[in-house]
Amino acid sequence: MKRLVMIGSAIAALAWGSVAAYASTATITTVSPWAYACGHTTFGNPATKEDTPGTNGCPATDVAGTSSAALAAGTLTLSKLCGEATAAKCTADDLASGATVKGLTTLTAASWDLAPASYCGAGAPRLNVVTSDGKTHFFGCAANKSGNHVSFKFDAAGDGSGNGGIVGKTVTSIDIVQDETGTAILSNLSFTGTAVVTATAAPTATPTTPTLARTGGGLPA
């Protein structure tokens, strides 16, 4: 479900006309998947990266693992798996999957539903939000979970980074991150905030060649 509600406007003058831009509230229900390993990120749907110990920039002390992300029919599946390695070791390795939320300059509400078998830990899947002051804020899954529903609190108390929350702040990036061992299965994704607006310039009139209208009494052609 998508909805768009106009809540304000701003008008600026430009060379040959004016530009009108309307601040609006939007709810985003889709995301862009990515996968990360050892300093390298792949964007796509699906997206997959491999942790290859001792090669491709991966530490030799890592264990082999795979991260993957895919969005299908509104359900986002994120995983970080390392074969027979312990969950603690896999979590510690340089591997993650996730998805980027685009189109918002503020974030006032966010939620998703978990499949029955979905992973939901203290730190993943979490929301990583960067604000315009350069600070990174994170909001964990388990602390915001009720039954199979996760609804995030964005005040200072809910900010796991200790950076004061994001209420009233401009955001520059929003990502769902799965960097703990397991598979998260998320549906009914919903992110609400102020929409990014691209101002559209007023059209410029096509130049015309001036002509002198001939009325009664004019010279004959």
* pLDDT, tens only, 165-207: 999 999 999 999 999 999 999 999 999 999 998 766 666 666 5
**pLDDT in the model for residue 17:** 36
- Residue 96 forms beta bridges with which residues? 36
pLDDT per residue as tens digits for the range 15-57 = 333 334 556 999 999 999 999 999 999 999 999 999 999 999 9
How many whole angstroms separate alpha carbon 30 and alpha carbon 101? Answer: 7
Looking at residue 132, what DSSP letter applies?
A: T
Percentage of the chain lying above the pLDDT 70 cut: 79
Mean pLDDT of the chain: 86
- Which one, of 81, 78, 84, lies nearest residue 50 by Cα? 81
- pLDDT of 105 higher than 50: yes
How many whole angstroms separate alpha carbon 31 and alpha carbon 9? Answer: 27
SS (H, E, C) 173-191: EEEEEECCCEEEEEEEEEE
Domain spans in the chain, listed from the N-terminal domain onward: 30-189
How many whole angstroms separate alpha carbon 150 and alpha carbon 144? Answer: 5
- pLDDT of 153 higher than 90: yes
- Residue 88 backbone phi and psi in degrees, to 5: -65, -40
User: Looking at the domain covering 30-189, what would its CATH class be?
Assistant: mainly beta
- pLDDT of 5 higher than 50: no
